[in-house]
Amino acid sequence: MEIKKEFDLIVIGSGPAGEKAAVKAAYFNYRVAIIEKDEWFGGAGIQTGTLPSKTLKETTLYLSGIYSKGIFSIDKELNRFAGIQDFMYRKNLVTNHAGRSVESNLKQHNVTIFKGLAQFISDHEIRVANGADEYILYGQYIIIATGSYPVHPSTIPFDGIRLHDSDSILSINRFPKSLCVLGAGVIGCEYATIFAAMGIKTYIVNNTNKILGFLDEEISTALVQQMEKNGITVLFNNIITNYIVPEDANKDLTLTLQNGETLSVDMFLFAAGRSGNTKDLHCEKAGIILGERETVKVNHKFQTNIEHIYAVGDVVGFPALASTSMDQGRIAVAHIFKTGDLQTLTHIFPYGIYTVPEVSMVGITEEQAKKENLEYSTGICYYRDTIRGKIMGDQDNGFLKLIFEKKSHTILGVHIIGNLATEIIHFGLALVKEKKTLDEVIATVFNFPTLHDLYKYAAYDGLGHLIGKRIKKAGEISLL
């Protein structure tokens, strides 16, 4: 049965970008419809991406006791009684709750929900097929927020049992005895450190000579060192050229490297790329121009080449963060309905990488400062050199690094590796965004003892560098 309906706005996809766009438009009393093809709401951000991996990381920290070993004169051993059901329990609980929260939020704002696959018929019409019913939805405006999906190179025999992508790895029914991760981006590094912390022998194969190329090099190098300390073997400047999957499930996979060596591992994870989820939309029927990897091309207003069609979130590519995707959805609605509030996406925002240990950054890297010929200097404080770090028993050699302009002392970048880095970065965000100086940080009073002392003593260290004097040696607590 064909049913026709009209709306002021149609949003395709209920991930972070789609949800916030739909709810904002509905808040201003526009007639809004949202289309979701999957059983659960929330898209990859909630179901297969952001939340699951972060929840698994927290589960790993608890089960492994990696941050509490030796703090209280006893070593907490890895909980060998924890099974895969225990490992996945919290992840399932969090994602299910978050999915229900998205659905509840949409309903509370009177957004009309359609379940089924969305396909363009024209630049204003979308067909939604769901069982016997077929809806033809007319939208004065349309927002594409369909997210992304893992790329599947034809050379890799994915089976969802032993050879995984970043979606299927969340459905494993046993722990791997060993694991090879191809790709050293955010997803690859997060999962590699999570499984390694659980005591699983892990390899990372990467086709360049460093991991997470956008990071400050000093942070990237420190993360590699910590990975190796936790039992991860990182194989740089390499690729996998062949995959042999034995019929006997008890025998290892054989992975041939470009240099001729082979790896024998129990499971494999491909984490080297995602594509925009546009394949089933029939964008050509609306005249929408696509970019590389099936992403949608947009301008700074998140408008496509079709004036009344917008796209937001991972489907437009970089930066592909849940945090920025939410604001992209809100910005698109602000432009569509002239709400007069959020007009542009800030160019200063933090990155959070939920590895073990965590990494977070905001502002420029030291490499960028050199490239731009800036007169800069740096200041560093190690976790172990603060009282709070001692109390926490931080064993990962974590540190906070400030990059600042020499003459004015203005802070240009903040980089952190260590426990809770993604939490304490937000003070650094305010410093960079408001162009604060080292002197202002030193004059700030923090609760004592807290990790925010890292900022103060990194600032002291930076001033010390300017006069050629080291304020303290690594491993010593020297509170000025």
**Over the stretch 280-338, which tens digit does the pLDDT of each residue have?**
999 999 999 999 999 999 999 999 999 999 999 999 999 988 999 999 999 999 999 99
- What does the alpha-carbon distance between residue 296 and residue 316 come to, in Å, rounded to a whole number? 5
Are residues 280 and 117 in contact, defined by beta-carbon separation less than 8 angstroms? yes
What integer pLDDT is reported at residue 59 of this predicted model?
85
Q: Residues 423-435: pLDDT tens digits?
A: 999 999 999 999 9
Please report the pLDDT score of residue 74 as a whole number.
Answer: 55
Residue 420 has what pLDDT? 94
- Per-residue pLDDT, 94: 86
Share of the chain above pLDDT 90, in %: 76
Instruction: Select from 3.40.140.10, 3.30.390.30, 3.40.50.620, 3.40.50.1370 the CATH code of 357-466.
Output: 3.30.390.30
Q: For the chain, give every domain's residue range.
A: 2-150+275-337, 163-272, 357-466
Mean pLDDT across 90-118: 92
Amino acid at 70: G
Q: What phi and psi, each to the nearest 5 degrees, are found at residue 41?
A: -90, 160
* E-state strands within 32-131: 32-36, 112-115, 117-120, 125-130
Beta bridge pairs of residue 381? 400
pLDDT score, position 340: 87
Structure confidence by residue, pLDDT tens digits, 16-25: 999 999 999 9
pLDDT band at 2 (very low <50, low <70, confident <90, very high): confident
How many Cα atoms are found within 13 Å in the side-chain-facing hemisphere of 312?
33
- Cα separations in angstroms, 106 against 27, 39, 45, 144, 310: 10, 15, 16, 17, 20
Q: Which CATH number is correct for 2-150+275-337, 3.50.50.60, 3.40.50.12780, 3.40.630.10, 3.40.50.2300?
A: 3.50.50.60
Predicted pLDDT of residue 71: 56
Q: How confident is the model at residue 77 (pLDDT cuts 50, 70, 90)?
A: low
More confident position, 424 or 1: 424
Two domains, one topology: 2-150+275-337 and 163-272:
yes
Closest by CA position to 40, among listed 147, 143, 121, 172 = 147
pLDDT at position 475 = 43
Mean pLDDT of 384-413: 90
The rounded mean pLDDT for the chain is: 91
Assign 51 a pLDDT band (cuts: 50, 70, 90): confident
Q: Give the model's pLDDT for residue 155.
A: 95
What is the per-residue pLDDT for 40? Answer: 85
pLDDT attached to residue 374 = 97
For residue 276, pLDDT over 90 is answered with yes
| DSSP-H helix ranges across 65-178 | 84-108
Average confidence (pLDDT) over 416-425? 96
pLDDT surpassing 60 at residue 474: no
Q: Using alpha carbons, select from 234, 147, 156 the residue that is nearest to residue 188.
A: 234
Structure confidence by residue, pLDDT tens digits, 217-259: 999 999 999 999 999 999 999 999 999 999 998 999 999 999 9
Whether the Cβ atoms of residue 176 and residue 151 lie closer than 8 Å to each other: no
Q: CATH number for the 163-272 domain, one of 3.40.30.10, 3.50.50.60, 3.90.1720.10, 3.20.20.150?
A: 3.50.50.60
Q: Helices (H), strands (E): how many in the chain?
A: 12, 22
Q: What is the pLDDT of residues 330-373, one digit of tens each?
A: 999 999 999 988 888 889 999 999 999 999 999 999 999 999 99
Which band of pLDDT confidence, cut at 50, 70 and 90, is reported for residue 61?
confident
Alpha helices in 173-280 (DSSP H): 186-197, 217-229
Lowest-confidence region among 3-7, 108-112, 368-372:
3-7
Instruction: Give the three-class secondary structure for 48.
Output: coil
* DSSP secondary structure letters along 357-393: S-EEEEE--HHHHHHTT--EEEEEEEGGGSHHHHHHT
What percent of the chain has a predicted confidence (pLDDT) above 70?
94
Q: At what angle do helices 421-433 and 453-466 cross, to 10 degrees?
A: 50
Q: What is the DSSP letter of 422?
A: H
pTM value? 0.90
Please report, as a single letter, which amino acid is at residue 134: E
Is 185 in a helix, a strand, or coil? Answer: coil
Q: Tens of pLDDT along 138-187?
A: 999 999 999 999 999 999 999 999 999 999 999 898 999 999 999 999 99
Confidence of residue 476 (pLDDT cuts 50, 70, 90): very low
The predicted structure's pLDDT at residue 464? 94
Give the pLDDT band (50/70/90) at residue 392: confident
Q: With CA atoms as reference, report the closest residue to 211 among 198, 203, 220.
A: 220
373 is written with which tokens?
């010929």
Q: What is the pLDDT of residue 394?
A: 61
